[in-house]
Structure 1
């Protein structure tokens, strides 16, 4: 529940910024560059996932997760007291940095408390709660009204409510330390103790984890994820996540601007249709995730999503109703791919470098997300919405081809075969 609440809060905090900026434009003049920067601020802060990931491998996942939501609430409240564009941008960056803790340390802590057979399934479900938070952020804008020039500030502040709820819950629930992290610190006895305290005496470390604890070395550079052992996985994770994030956040956060440029007047109706399609896509993605291999899912999702956007980009005279159908289908397809974000990125790295590896991949993704959020409204305004769709379609096509050539298979059946031969990653330290 502590991780679920964090995911909901993260989704809400990311979405609400775009709606708030759109509302702010009714009362203050905001140049296109600042619209993009403030909208992308949270995602720029999320690029700090690299530092957070490395820090979580050094000091532990639990310590960061016990603090970040309190800070997120405090920073969000600070946005109530300024209309300065630079100050607002910097606070959004700090909000993103706090969210980065949940993206890296939270995801890592969860997978390290789950048995191997359950980790992929549970992680694929996390995106449901993130999506619900994202949709709640869009829906909240319909209720935070009637405050004139304060309306957009209240939208920016509103994530503080969910952040505080999450922070208090984590304090009361007392998150346990990751057993894998303790093993990698050379403390297998402490790991055994925390497992038995939280799960009972029937559970304990696997023999491989006990042996690993004897030779554990907690000191390594973040550049380890670019060594020969991890470079392929780091590259695939970075490219797939960055391309997906560029398109998803660029379109989702500034949906009213894009829809308006498409000539559709009822932007709220399209917004609800888009967000509803997003939830359908995530639920569909979870079903497909458990039936296809990771490679098949990744490549197929990119290919189909790209086709939708290229169709919207090239067919400039497409009838409005068909345009809505294709746009909704795109939302379903791309949202289905979000299911891969948590499970696949974690599976690409073993537990000794997982925090750093996931942090690096998330950093790449946030660079992509920030670029999309910054560039797409500018491209849409200065050129056309069709050009924005074409750019996103080409990027998704490239990511699909890159995955086709290099993406490793990490699904449970494949991992089980590797584990039997003594290879593979250790997603969980537990055995019954």
Structure 2
């Protein structure tokens, strides 16, 4: 197994007075003071494999689920409240209306860019606490907005928190999971996003007509804020702690996880843990944006560029299918009632697609081919939406399309944090998320212009089909397949 550096040498030193054996680092084998030499070849990934996955990681998994559930609610909530905002403030200009519609994505772009690097500096748990407080606090604040301009500011700030939270949830979770079934658990985490959408649609369905958009935002802050009840009880990532030279703290975390999993720690690391890295991380050589620069190092450059393009194209297709396609069909009078009801019904296809993707990425298909397969099948199902002429056809075709769309994103979300080493994992995941936010800012005005132009439905449908085909091709061009690999295995060349 490649470790990306030379293993640290330790001395097992026998204390003849106490009878205890102490583990200490040896800087040079020739400086031995008579103790038994022991060269440890096991990186932290080996330790995590030995302690397995179980109750010890349950709170980390719960925190990640709650984080994604709350974040998954926000884009739909904004799309639900926009029509009501126009009615409450009839003087709202079309320009400001459009800016409010893009405000969440603008905040998410800034949040992903900043907090991805922050998490690689101050830790995953601390960063997740900051982003969660921002999301919940500004969602509540937005419900009391006295004007569209104030609401715009609040939505940008909500997006700032959400954008920072998304990649950090996956980064924290992946650093606790052993290789076996890692992709399965990561992909299943995407169910939380769909559950958030389902909750948002359900609350809007029951609240909007009678109580309005302000009450919707206020009530939605409860599930969004549930993560804050769990965060005080979860540990920091042991991989991050080792990276920062906090070996004893990392060992304490691993020991606690192992105890809760009823698994022993490997005898070879019953003391300070060996640490693998190419160079020491210190204030002198660790600039704030160093992790971002490392994304374009010789071994990671191609991986980063292809992954960014994949996220951009897949996000452009997602936004079109989830937000603009329902609006088009409702404008044509095709639907079962309210937008909330149709979204609630078509979301039933999300979870089965995610579960199938979670199984497939752990088979011989691996991550890359699963992403490509779901992208191509998603393109096929979107294509069959062209001749929609009834509500039943729309619901059935939309469920099929979302089945593959959400399976696609479950595989992408599972793969992304796996390809970067611990030093730049949060930054790498966040940077990829930034590409999704760029697509979120660029796509809406283009799609709106196309749909309002009166052109054939085949124009936007053809665009979205093309985006997903491009996504599938890019998946096959990704340099690294992470199936069965430790997440700190580095690319060569």
Q: Give the alignment's TM-score, normalised by structure 2.
A: 0.76
Q: Structure 1 residue aligned with 2:473, among 381, 393, 401?
A: 401
Whole-angstrom distance in 1 between the partners of 2:267 and 2:299: 25
Is 1:377 paired with 2:440? no
Residues 215 and 337 of structure 1, relative CA distance in 2, 3 Å threshold: same
* Preserved CA contact (<8 Å) 2:183 2:358: no
Q: Cα 1:158–1:233, aligned 2, differ >3 Å: closer, same or farther?
A: farther
Q: How far 1:39 moved relative to its partner? A: 3.1
Number of the residue aligned with 1:271: 343
- 1:168 counterpart = 2:224: no
Count of aligned residue pairs for this structure pair: 412
Please give the residue correspondences for 1:201-280 in structure 2 after superposition, counting only pairs within 5 Å.
202-203=264-265, 210-212=274-276, 215-217=279-281, 219=286, 220-254=290-324, 256-268=326-338, 270-280=342-352
Using the alignment, how far apart are the partners of 1:294 and 1:214 within structure 2?
27
Q: 1:17 aligns with which of 60, 64, 78?
A: 78
Distance 1:299 1:21 in 2: 35
CA contact (8 A) 1:46 1:366 kept: yes
Q: 1:40 aligns with which of 87, 92, 102?
A: 102
Uncovered stretches (5+) of structure 1, i.e. residues with no partner: 426-432
CA contact (8 A) 1:39 1:253 kept: no
Cα gap change, 1:191 to 1:40, in 2 (>3 Å): same
CA distance in 1, matches of 2:166, 2:80: 22
1:381 positional shift? 2.4
Is the contact made by 2:187 and 2:414 (CA closer than 8 Å) also made in structure 1?
yes
Per the alignment, residue 54 of structure 1 pairs with 117
Shift of 1:63: 0.9
Structure 2 residue 176 is matched with structure 1 residue 113: yes
Shift of residue 256, structure 1, vs aligned partner:
4.4
Residues 1:143 and 2:216 aligned together = no
Deviates more, 1:78-87 or 1:355-364: 78-87
**Correspondent of 2:379 among 295, 300, 306:** 306
- Structure 1 counterpart of 2:367: 294
Alignment match, 1:429: none
Aligned to 1:97: 160
Change (3 A) 1:193 1:265: closer
Per mean C-alpha deviation after superposition, the further-off stretch among 290-299 and 195-204 is: 195-204
Q: Report the Cα distance in structure 2 between the residues aligned to 1:380 and 1:364, rounded to whole angstroms.
A: 24
Aligned to 1:360: 431
Distance 1:131 1:107, change over 3 A: same
Q: Alpha-carbon deviations, 1:370-395, whole Å to 9, x = none?
A: 33345433432234454332222222
Question: Could you tell me which of 352, 355, 366 is aligned with 1:283?
Answer: 355
SS where residue 473 of structure 2 aligns? Answer: helix
What is the CA deviation profile of residues 163-214 of structure 1, one whole-angstrom value per residue up to 9, with x for unaligned ones?
332212323x2x2111111111123233223322443383369979714169
Q: TM-score, normalised by structure 1?
A: 0.85
- Worse overlay, 195-204 or 354-363: 195-204
Give the stretch that moved more between structures: 100-109 or 255-264: 255-264
Tell me which of 320, 340, 344 is aligned to 2:411. 340
TM-superposed deviation, 1:57: 0.6
C-alpha RMSD of the superposition: 2.9
1:240 and 1:271 map into 2 onto residues whose CA distance is 26
Secondary structure of 1:128's counterpart equals helix
Whole-Å separation in 2 of the counterparts to 1:280 and 1:258: 26
Aligned partners of 1:382, 1:396: CA distance in 2, in Å? Answer: 23
Measured after TM superposition, the shift of residue 412 of structure 1 is 2.4
Check whether the contact 2:136–2:225 (CA below 8 A) recurs between aligned residues.
yes
Give yes or no for the alignment of 1:80 onto 2:143.
yes
1:132 paired residue among 195, 199, 204:
195
CA contact (8 A) 2:120 2:291 kept: no
Greater RCO (CA < 8 Å, at least 6 residues apart):
1
- Structure 2 residues without counterparts, runs of 5 or longer: 1-61
1:430 counterpart residue number: none
Distance (Å, rounded) in 2 between the aligned partners of 1:232 and 1:262 = 44
Partners of 2:450 and 2:440 in 1: how far apart? 15
Distance 1:378 1:86, change over 3 A: farther
Tell me the distance in 2 between the aligned counterparts of 1:302 and 1:205.
45
1:184-199 matches, within 5 Å, as: 184-199=243-258
Deviations 1:312-360 (A, max 9, x none): 4xx5x55435454433322211111121132100112111210111111
Matched-pair contact (CA < 8 Å) for 1:32–1:377 = no
Cα distance in 2 for residues equivalent to 1:302 and 1:68: 31
Q: Secondary structure at the match of 1:380?
A: helix
Distance, in Å, in 1 between the alignment partners of 2:376 and 2:277 is 43
12-21 or 322-331: bigger deviation: 322-331
CA contact 2:69–2:224 (8 Å) conserved in 1: no
Q: Which has the larger radius of gyration?
A: 2
Aligned pair partner of 2:185 in 122, 125, 128 = 122
**SS of aligned partner of 2:230:** helix
